[in-house]
Amino acid sequence: MLECVSIVGLGKLGAPMAAAIASKGVRVIGVDIDENKVNAIGRAEPPVYEPGLSELLQQAKANLTATTDLQQAVLDSQATFIVVATPSRLDGHFSLDYVLDACKVIGQALREKSDWHIVVITSTVSPLSMDEQIRPFLEEVSGKRASIDFGLAYNPEFIALGTVIRDFLNPDLILIGESDPKTGDTLQAFYMRILDNIPAFARMNFVNAELTKLSINTFVTTKISFANMLARICERLPGSDVDVVTAALGKDSRIGPKYLRGAVSYGGPCFPRDNLALIALARQIGAIADVAETTDNFNRSQNAWLAEFVYQHVLPGQVVGVLGLAYKPGSDVIEESPAIYLLRYLLDKQVSVVAYDPAARANAEQLFRDRVRWAASAEACVTASEVVVIPTVWPEFKKIPTSVWIGGASKRTVIDCWRAFPELSQADGLRYVSLGQGPSRVRVPV
């Protein structure tokens, strides 16, 4: 039974993961080279933006400590989860630099440690990384053998920023690539102790687990792109509505409703790069990955499509307001966000832009500086604009009074990418454009 674990990396996943485990009564030692993050955990304050993390840290503070001393953390714990960044390389594969940096210190600690210890790679890695790089490196540094002297596992999480805590504690699946049955049994028992639900467990060797992680995310992106394809078709069919079509599709048990909502491209730090990593693997081994390549190409084309679509609704001299900059609500991440692509396009076309996001403004401001006017609120963004685009729907946007939408000297155009404001279609004094619905409601560019 694992009574104390260490977690290396107190970032977007590591910090919520540490707090969630500690809130269940397990002692957790968080480790990071960033002293600011370590000190924040020590004050029970969130080192990263994630809804619910502040409250969870208060619940967990009796069992959660943080340090920059990884070697001591390994000596004081029974398992170490490595949750560090694995940046995408130019060839699409993941860099293991930070993982191996952590493994070096962990291996040195294992050399001194007589007790059985499990090393868990939670960071996403490319297939064959565990067998060809991570395992041999740990064995070399530690002077010990995986599955005999220590346990080794690949155990990636399937979480989404903005709902990390809920997703971690209520997973559909726990994926474990294991060096030996003892390691897998220990991790499975650990999760059964801390989770709020009883998920499916899939235990296998390393390469199958590595491939499964990429395959799941690539399949989800394919599903998202299929729904977006349907949305573009519906926009050209009188009377059609993508929500009606996808709702029916989702009732088929072979398909299911999750991620089946036509709107804008997928983004964020996981889906695009996992798709590219699977493509890179296929090319490396001489296999065909046409479906993954088509999904990636189609998704990127959707960013260009949206930008051109918006631009066709802008008259000379009009100001465009962009509501929502993060790649999804509940996150401050702008990586691969359709809104960011849209901003770049409009600015290149010399269009005046005002933007608002309750969490991602600081990150977006680093990119665009004073090229964009930054609104202090969602209502201020709407008021300052003749054309408003909503690529990311935060709950607070739903609270904007209709009087704000219809206010102004000229008739405002509202482009609702997610069909989140159907009531505006009946409002006088504005032009409501909803994506994914037939020509009676939307003018489609040709």
Domain range list for the chain: 4-204, 215-299, 302-434
pLDDT score for 441 = 47
pLDDT score for 394 = 97
The fold of 215-299 is: N-(1-d-carboxylethyl)-l-norvaline Dehydrogenase; domain 2 (1.10.1040)
- Check whether 194 has a pLDDT greater than 80: yes
In the predicted model, what is the mean pLDDT of the chain?
A: 96
Share of residues in the chain with pLDDT > 90 (%):
96
Q: Smallest Cα–Cα separation from 214: which of 154, 153, 124, 82?
A: 124
Adjacency order of strands within the sheet including 173-178: 64-67, 27-31, 4-8, 79-82, 118-121, 151-154, 173-178, 200-204
pTM of the model: 0.93
- Check whether 437 has a pLDDT greater than 80: yes
- pLDDT tens-place string over residues 18-77: 999 999 999 999 999 999 999 999 999 999 999 999 999 999 999 999 999 999 999 999
DSSP letters of 324-352?
--SSSTT----TT-HHHHHHHHHHHTT-E
Over residues 86-91, mean pLDDT: 95
Structure tokens at 174: 């726990």
Residues 6 or more apart in contact with residue 333 via CB below 8 angstroms: 12, 161, 268, 269, 326, 327, 360, 363
- pLDDT tens-place string over residues 110-139: 999 999 999 999 999 999 999 999 999 999
Q: Could you tell me how many residues make up the chain? A: 446
> Which amino acid is it at 396?
E
**In 148-258, which ranges are continuous DSSP H helix?**
164-169, 181-194, 206-234, 242-250
The domain 302-434 having CATH identifier 3.40.50.620: the answer here is: no
Q: Read off the pLDDT band of 445 (50, 70, 90).
A: very low
Residues 6 or more apart in contact with residue 169 via CB below 8 angstroms: 20, 194, 195, 196, 197
Over residues 304-315, mean pLDDT: 97
Residues 6 or more apart in contact with residue 35 via CB below 8 angstroms: 68
Q: How many whole angstroms from its chain centre is CA 36?
A: 23
Exactly one of 103, 234, 270, 417 is catalytic; name it.
270
Residues 6 or more apart in contact with residue 399 via CB below 8 angstroms: none
- Check whether 443 has a pLDDT greater than 70: no
What is the maximal distance between C-alpha atoms in the chain?
76
If one looks up domain 4-204 in CATH, what number appears? 3.40.50.720
Cβ atoms within 10 A of the Cβ of 433, count? Answer: 23
Task: Tell me whether the CATH fold assigned to 215-299 matches the one assigned to 302-434.
Answer: no
Cα 152 to Cα 109: distance, rounded to the nearest angstrom? 15
pLDDT score for 442 = 46
Q: Which residues pair with 356 in a beta bridge?
A: 323
Return the minimum-mean-pLDDT range out of 17-31, 76-90, 354-368, 417-431. 417-431
Cα 197 to Cα 191: distance, rounded to the nearest angstrom? 10
Find the helix or strand (DSSP H, E) in which 200 lies.
strand 200-204
> Which amino acid is it at 263?
A
Over residues 200-219, mean pLDDT: 98
The answer to whether residue 270 is catalytic is yes
**In 113-180, which ranges are continuous DSSP H helix?**
129, 135-142, 164-169
- pLDDT tens-place string over residues 219-237: 999 999 999 999 999 999 9
> Which amino acid is it at 176?
I
